[in-house]
Amino acid sequence: MIMTLLQKMGYGGCWRVLVLGVVLWWSVIISSAGSVGSHSLGSRTRHFKFQVEYMYWSPDCVDGLVIGINGRFPGPTIRVRAGDTVSVEVTNKLDTEGVVIHWHGIRQLGTPWADGTASISQCAINPGESFVYRFNADKAGTYMYHGHYGMQRSGGLYGSLIVETEEEEEEEEEKEPFHYDGEFNLLLSDWWHQTPHEQQVGLSSNPFRWVGEPQALLINGRGQYNCSLAAKFSNSSAAQCKFTGREQCAPYILRVLPNKTYRLRVSSVTALASLNLAIGGHKMTVVEADGNYVQPFTTDDMDIYSGESYSVLFTTDQDPSTNYWVSIGVRGRLPKTPPALTILHYATTSISNLPPLPPPVPPLWNNHTHSKLFSNKVQALAGSPSPPATSHRRILLLNTQNYINGYIRWALNNVSLLLPETPYLGSIRYRLTKAFEKRAPPENFPSEYDITMPAKNQNSSYGNGVYTLRSNSTVDVILQNANALAANTSELHPWHLHGHYFWVLGYGEGKFREEDEKGFNLKNPPLKNTVVVFPYGWTALRFVADNPGVWAFHCHIEPHLHMGMGVVFAEGVRRLGKIPKQGLGCGLTGKMLMDNDNNRD
């Protein structure tokens, strides 16, 4: 698709585009992921090799360490077709740290050991060692991959995973329910100058040290800390950026032809920031969310929370003699980070012509009404599968901020998740009863809890028990937001479920009431894997526990997860046959397997 368009644009084999008078490489160089395809009729296995290592890099024009893959940051984009088996051999080239990679949005049907969550689906890969993630990319869509151990995602361990629709014989027929002439992929993240270790230790310290707002927002790993691309419109003193185009922090330019329709894939792996994206002068039509088609709707700007992905279409129907800003700003927190900017560049004009109009201004950070309107517009494409009409079980999860022995933590129903050293998948499969608490965490919270005020008793406790879900049962989860420790404070939390899609049945204000269930959208609720819970509100979701494994469900804000904001679901684990041993070599599963070795002593 990209190649086709590039050819149309007259680039042929030379994938370069002039930026601010100089040369920039398109970042969609698929071959860099090191894929070797073994193609066969129908489906095929695509092989990739990832070497994960720290490197000096300059994501926001400030030199520092990032966790890169194959010498690149962000990691290479994986692009496969629906139905392909993806095999990624990840080799840990970090010096002393373990590593895992989570394939965010991939359900891992039948391969729960390949979910890439440390302490849950596998032991971290030791330095110098490799682990092969092998899974089916069963569903076309826009996904990402990222670290899921400690706060390595904050350190830059992420990339895009794009699953295209199945190949249709020789035809070039579109299998998507929409048409487009070309596409771009934007992977959004936020960036700190503090290392992930400094951040993580600060969050675990007493006195608490919050990570603060990010120093920069990055588009495809590129942002600007010391300068602004749109300095002349800024009322700060930021200098105008000067790029030759070869800088690691030079912007990723969207070069377009007039009167074409483009698909913009957008995904967010931010550690903290909720974002809003707008293209100056251009409307967008949302067509995909989290790998599922949605009923198209048009918008001037779109929200995207950490862990979400969208596809939007836009048509280059504006004055082709100027360029336009693409602006991505912070939502939900008082923004101290300038918007990420890049340029929608009409090939009919020079890239050196900076857009004449100022960048789009994001909605006011605390205009939650605007965000709710957007979220509520996201509905399943007509004809999408409907949710079961009723559920077998409802779990209410009260989101609170608490103290434990003076440490600040997040908790669900007053339990703050502290992951065990033995991954659950192995310890549950092999009935290692000492690996974690046997008692399941609570399904509910006291009915008199006042979500509008700081808790009367702000103390919580650590826990690592799991919610065991009956196989193929339908589960409702109500995420209930509440006041945090400080008065008049309630935060946004984007919750992400591993191993499944869920239907978003609705968002509500205040405390969830029994009668709110009557308002659930059972007609066209969107299928997603990540959903926001708004301040002082609730979000209801439904899913079918049809994928044997152990699955994290957590706030996708990296510091919040580190501070305990997650729960663990286990389903049908005893039905699993053999679990590959290569992910079991730590903790009690490692001990069990080694103790059974009777050939040596």
Q: What is the contact surface with its own copies in residues (CB under 8 A)?
A: 54-56, 64-65, 95-99, 123-124, 126-129, 149-152, 195, 197-198, 200-202, 205, 209, 420-421, 430, 577-578, 581-582, 584-587, 590-601
Tokens of 475: 């589960």
Q: Which is nearer to its own copies, 42 or 207 (CB)?
A: 207
Cβ 95 to its own copies, closest distance in Å? Answer: 4
DSSP state of 483: -
Q: Which is nearer to its own copies, 3 or 432 (CB)?
A: 432
Distances in Å between the Cα of 504 and the Cα atoms of 327, 341, 398, 588 are 28, 31, 17, 37
Segment holding 276, helix H or strand E: strand 274-279
Q: Which is nearer to its own copies, 64 or 549 (CB)?
A: 64
Cβ 94 to its own copies, closest distance in Å? Answer: 9
Closest CA to 181 of 168, 172, 190, 171: 172
Cβ 154 to its own copies, closest distance in Å? Answer: 12
Q: Which is nearer to its own copies, 510 or 580 (CB)?
A: 580
Q: Which is nearer to its own copies, 224 or 589 (CB)?
A: 589
Q: How many CB atoms lie within 10 A of CB 385?
A: 9
Q: Which is nearer to its own copies, 123 or 570 (CB)?
A: 123
Cβ 280 to its own copies, closest distance in Å? Answer: 39
DSSP state of 522: -
Cβ 201 to its own copies, closest distance in Å? Answer: 4
DSSP state of 459: B
Q: Which is nearer to its own copies, 43 or 195 (CB)?
A: 195
Compute the distance between CA of residue 274 and CA of residue 298 in angstroms, rounded to an integer: 20
Cβ 593 to its own copies, closest distance in Å? Answer: 4
Cβ 49 to its own copies, closest distance in Å? Answer: 17
Cβ 464 to its own copies, closest distance in Å? Answer: 11
The label of the residue with tokens 């010391």 reads 226
- 191-207 burial code (b ≥16 CB/10 A, e <16): bbebebeebbebbeeee
Calculate ∠ Cα 575-577-580, nearest 5°.
130
Q: Which is nearer to its own copies, 102 or 368 (CB)?
A: 102
Q: Which is nearer to its own copies, 176 or 198 (CB)?
A: 198
Determine if residue 448 is left, alpha or beta; phi over 0 gives left, psi from -120 to 50 gives alpha, anything else beta: alpha
Cβ 334 to its own copies, closest distance in Å? Answer: 25
Tell me how far apart the terminal alpha carbons of the chain are, to the nearest angstrom.
Answer: 59
Q: Which is nearer to its own copies, 149 or 503 (CB)?
A: 149
CB 88 within 8 A of CB 127: no
Compute the distance between CA of residue 451 and CA of residue 488 in angstroms, rounded to an integer: 11
Q: Which residues pair with 548 in a beta bridge?
A: none
Cβ 119 to its own copies, closest distance in Å? Answer: 8
Assign 366 to helix, strand or coil: coil
CB 121 within 8 A of CB 148: no
Cβ 433 to its own copies, closest distance in Å? Answer: 16
Cβ 529 to its own copies, closest distance in Å? Answer: 25
Q: Which is nearer to its own copies, 50 or 346 (CB)?
A: 50
Q: What is the secondary structure of 303-329 as a DSSP string?
A: EE-TT-EEEEEEE--S-TTS-EEEEEE
Cβ 587 to its own copies, closest distance in Å? Answer: 6
Considering only CA atoms, give the Rg of the chain. Answer: 23
Q: Which is nearer to its own copies, 257 or 593 (CB)?
A: 593
CB 129 within 8 A of CB 83: no
DSSP state of 365: T
In the sheet that 537-544 helps form, which strands lie side by side, from edge to edge?
461-463, 415-417, 407-412, 393-404, 474-480, 537-544, 502-509, 527-528
Assign 225 to helix, strand or coil: coil
Compute the distance between CA of residue 356 and CA of residue 352 in angstroms, rounded to an integer: 11
Assign 438 to helix, strand or coil: coil
Q: Which is nearer to its own copies, 155 or 494 (CB)?
A: 155
